[in-house]
Structure 1
Amino acid sequence: MPQSYTPEFKKKIVRLHEEEGRTYKSITAEYGVSKASISKWCS
Protein backbone atom coordinates (compact mmCIF):
# COMPACT_ATOMS: atom_id res chain seq x y z
CA MET A 1 0.00 0.00 0.00
CA PRO A 2 1.40 3.45 -0.92
CA GLN A 3 2.65 5.76 1.81
CA SER A 4 0.26 8.58 2.71
CA TYR A 5 1.62 12.01 3.63
CA THR A 6 -0.21 14.92 5.25
CA PRO A 7 -0.56 18.22 3.38
CA GLU A 8 1.58 19.86 6.07
CA PHE A 9 4.39 17.35 5.52
CA LYS A 10 4.25 17.86 1.75
CA LYS A 11 4.49 21.65 2.23
CA LYS A 12 7.51 21.16 4.49
CA ILE A 13 9.26 19.05 1.86
CA VAL A 14 8.48 21.57 -0.91
CA ARG A 15 9.79 24.39 1.30
CA LEU A 16 13.01 22.49 2.01
CA HIS A 17 13.62 22.10 -1.71
CA GLU A 18 12.43 25.45 -3.04
CA GLU A 19 13.35 27.85 -0.22
CA GLU A 20 16.34 26.16 1.39
CA GLY A 21 17.79 24.70 -1.79
CA ARG A 22 17.93 21.13 -0.52
CA THR A 23 18.41 18.46 -3.17
CA TYR A 24 15.95 15.64 -3.75
CA LYS A 25 18.72 13.24 -2.74
CA SER A 26 19.30 14.89 0.65
CA ILE A 27 15.56 15.07 1.39
CA THR A 28 15.11 11.42 0.40
CA ALA A 29 17.97 10.40 2.69
CA GLU A 30 16.60 12.34 5.67
CA TYR A 31 12.85 11.78 5.30
CA GLY A 32 12.55 8.59 3.23
CA VAL A 33 10.36 10.25 0.59
CA SER A 34 10.91 9.09 -2.99
CA LYS A 35 12.45 11.46 -5.51
CA ALA A 36 9.37 10.96 -7.70
CA SER A 37 7.06 12.16 -4.91
CA ILE A 38 9.18 15.23 -4.22
CA SER A 39 9.27 16.07 -7.92
CA LYS A 40 5.49 15.72 -8.17
CA TRP A 41 4.86 17.93 -5.13
CA CYS A 42 7.26 20.63 -6.36
CA SER A 43 5.78 20.84 -9.86
Structure 2
Amino acid sequence: MNRYYEEEFKNKIVRLHLEEGRTLKSLSEEYGVSKSGISIWIKAYREECSTNHELK
Protein backbone atom coordinates (compact mmCIF):
# COMPACT_ATOMS: atom_id res chain seq x y z
CA MET A 1 0.00 0.00 0.00
CA ASN A 2 1.42 3.38 -1.01
CA ARG A 3 1.16 6.22 1.45
CA TYR A 4 1.09 9.90 0.55
CA TYR A 5 3.54 12.20 2.28
CA GLU A 6 3.46 15.99 2.12
CA GLU A 7 6.43 17.65 0.40
CA GLU A 8 7.25 19.50 3.62
CA PHE A 9 7.56 16.19 5.46
CA LYS A 10 9.76 14.69 2.73
CA ASN A 11 11.99 17.77 2.76
CA LYS A 12 12.36 17.52 6.53
CA ILE A 13 13.50 13.90 6.29
CA VAL A 14 15.94 14.66 3.45
CA ARG A 15 17.35 17.63 5.39
CA LEU A 16 17.84 15.55 8.52
CA HIS A 17 19.81 13.03 6.49
CA LEU A 18 21.89 15.42 4.39
CA GLU A 19 22.51 18.25 6.85
CA GLU A 20 22.51 16.46 10.19
CA GLY A 21 23.89 13.12 9.08
CA ARG A 22 20.98 11.03 10.34
CA THR A 23 21.03 7.46 9.04
CA LEU A 24 18.27 6.05 6.89
CA LYS A 25 17.68 3.41 9.54
CA SER A 26 17.20 5.93 12.35
CA LEU A 27 14.90 8.10 10.24
CA SER A 28 12.92 5.07 9.13
CA GLU A 29 12.42 3.90 12.69
CA GLU A 30 11.58 7.35 14.05
CA TYR A 31 9.17 8.46 11.33
CA GLY A 32 7.77 5.13 10.13
CA VAL A 33 8.93 5.54 6.54
CA SER A 34 10.74 2.81 4.63
CA LYS A 35 14.45 3.25 4.01
CA SER A 36 13.86 2.74 0.29
CA GLY A 37 11.26 5.52 0.31
CA ILE A 38 13.70 7.90 1.97
CA SER A 39 16.38 6.92 -0.55
CA ILE A 40 14.02 7.80 -3.39
CA TRP A 41 13.33 11.22 -1.84
CA ILE A 42 17.05 11.90 -1.43
CA LYS A 43 17.76 10.90 -5.03
CA ALA A 44 14.95 13.14 -6.29
CA TYR A 45 16.25 16.05 -4.21
CA ARG A 46 19.77 15.63 -5.57
CA GLU A 47 18.48 15.45 -9.14
CA GLU A 48 16.40 18.58 -8.56
CA CYS A 49 19.44 20.41 -7.18
CA SER A 50 21.59 19.43 -10.14
CA THR A 51 19.04 20.81 -12.61
CA ASN A 52 17.79 23.80 -10.59
CA HIS A 53 20.72 25.96 -9.56
CA GLU A 54 18.52 28.18 -7.39
CA LEU A 55 18.25 25.37 -4.78
CA LYS A 56 22.01 25.21 -4.24
TM-score by length of 1: 0.94
Q: Deviation per CA, 1:8-28, whole angstroms, max 9, x where unpaired?
A: 000000000000000000001
Higher relative contact order (CA 8 A, sep 6+): 1
User: Which residue number corresponds to residue 33 of structure 1?
Assistant: 33
Cα RMSD, aligned residues only: 0.6
What is the number of residues matched between the two proteins?
Answer: 43
Kindly report which structure 2 residues correspond to 1:1-16, keeping only aligned pairs within 5 A, or say none.
1-16=1-16
What are structure 2's unaligned runs of at least 5 residues? 44-56
In 1: Cα distance, 2:2 partner to 2:15 partner: 23
In 2: Cα distance, 1:29 partner to 1:11 partner: 17
TM-score by length of 2: 0.74
Instruction: Please say which structure displays the higher CA radius of gyration.
Output: 2
> Offset of 1:2 from its aligned partner?
1.0
Higher helix share: 2
Instruction: State, as a whole percentage, how many aligned pairs show the same letter.
Output: 63
